[in-house]
Structure formats: structure tokens, C-alpha cells
Amino acid sequence: MTTELFRLTDRAAVVTGAGRGIGAAAAVTLAEAGTDVVISSRTEADLRKVAAEVEKAGRRAIVVPADLNDLTAVAGLAEAAREAFGRLDVVVNNVGGTYPRAFLDTTPDFLERAFHFNVSTAHALTRAAVPLLLEDGGGAVVNISSTMGRIAGRGYLAYGTAKAALAHYTRLAARDLAPRIRVNAIAVGSVATSALELVLGDDELRRRMEEGTPLRRIGSAEEIAATVLYLASAAGGYVTGRVLEVDGGLQEPNLDLGIDDL
């Protein structure tokens, strides 16, 4: 059956930024498909809630509270998977993000920190994971990028540049690691997570964002998690080096932040 291609029975994964939002949904979805997971973010209480959902799905969750800006800490998650589960098959580089800033307020240091948090962390974990992925014949890496890495909007210089870099990192890493390890990314649009709390709590802002999206709604974390599952499983077994756009059809920003330098 074709649906069996989406099963990941007795596999092991690492998901970063897994305390809330897309990372949490990805961890639970992978567990429902048969995967044990190492989950990591700053806040242990959030991770414990996600771990409970993983365990409801009948899988094991290893909680690793950490500051994932620390490249040693993020790289160590690969070994945590091997110690706990004896293997590693899937890596989801979800941690990232950067606050919008006007151009003249975007210092070189701010730009470098955005690159570090969105790209260097993904590379540190992926690099540490490769030997373990190869031990069981290969595996899959899924990077969470953004539609702002493809389209232009005021205020997104640091965030958009970092996410564009992550998208091209995906293409380059896929070429380096083929044929045994597949590397793909998801360019995410506006999704109902804590990152959109300001918009979701304001009826007018939400209406404007929805009207600016061709599908006329904000996406869900579960929709992104379903795409993660596709790319991580045999269902996506002939896909590598691709950035899937899961963004409601955006071709331009769907909300003006009111940031103006000049």
C-alpha cells in the first residue's frame, strides 16, 4: 500500500526547536509514524508536554533542554539519539528565526547572529549526524526555511538572507551527501505558531494577513509536520536537494510591518 511509504517504524529522529509550534508538531507526527525522537529547545516544561504526546503515540522521547545557539550543544543531539535509541535516521533542523528590523538598525553583528542561528546550527547538527545516519544505510535531513528566503519585504533583511542561505545550503548539502542521505527543506509561509502571537491576537491584522494570502488563511503547524513526514519517509525517497514551498501560494509578503527606513 502506498500509505505504508509514510511509515517510519522503529526509526529515530532529532527535532530541534521542538518545544512548540512546527517543531513540536513534527516530533509528534514522526512519533505517530513510528519514530522515537530526541527533542530539544530552551524550555524543559514545553518539551515535557511534547514528550507526553510522543509517548501517547507509543514511542519514546528524550528531552534535552539546551540553548541551541551553542553549536556544541546542538551537535551533541546526534550522539544523544545514538545513546538512547542505538541509531539515527532523521534530522529536522527547525530551530531558527530572527526578529524583523529596519535596514539601518540591522547591524553586521545582528546579521551574523541571524546566520548563526538559522544556518550554522543546522550545519553543526547535520555534520554530527552524518556518520550515524550512514551506519544504518542512510537517512533524511529536513531543514525548515521560509518563504521570506524567496520573496522581498521590508524589515526582513537578516531573516530572509539567513533563510535563503539555508535553502541553498540544502541544495549544496544534498549534492555532497547523495546518494545515501537525502537533504530537503520546507519554505514555510505564515503558520499559526507563537511567532505569530501578535497577529493572531489582533482580528484586523489577522484579516489583512489572510486576505494577502492566495489561499485566504494562515497555515497550521500540522500541515508543515505532514510535509516533514513526507520528506523524511520513503514517500519522499526520490526527492533530494529540493525546497518545498508550503506557504498558501505567496508571491509577495502578506502583511506590511510598517518598517520604513527612508
The catalytic residues are 159
What is the C-alpha to C-alpha distance for residues 90 and 9, in angstroms, rounded to an integer? 12
> How far apart, in whole angstroms, are the C-alpha atoms of residue 137 and residue 174?
16
User: Which of 94, 92, 24 is closest to 61 using CA atoms?
Assistant: 24
* Residue 19 parent element (H or E): none
Residue 220 buriedness (CB in 10 A; 0-12 / 13-18 / 19+): middle
Helical ranges in the chain per DSSP H: 21-32, 44-56, 71-85, 108-115, 121-135, 157-177, 197-200, 203-211, 221-232
**3-class DSSP state of 34:** coil
- Alpha carbon distance 131, 189 (integer Å): 32
By CB atoms closer than 10 A (0-12, 13-18, 19+), residue 243 is buried
Show Cβ contacts of residue 165 under 8 Å, excluding neighbours closer than 6 positions.
115, 118, 119, 149
Cα 112 to chain centroid distance, Å, stands at: 20
Are the CB atoms for 178 and 130 separated by under 8 Å?
Answer: no
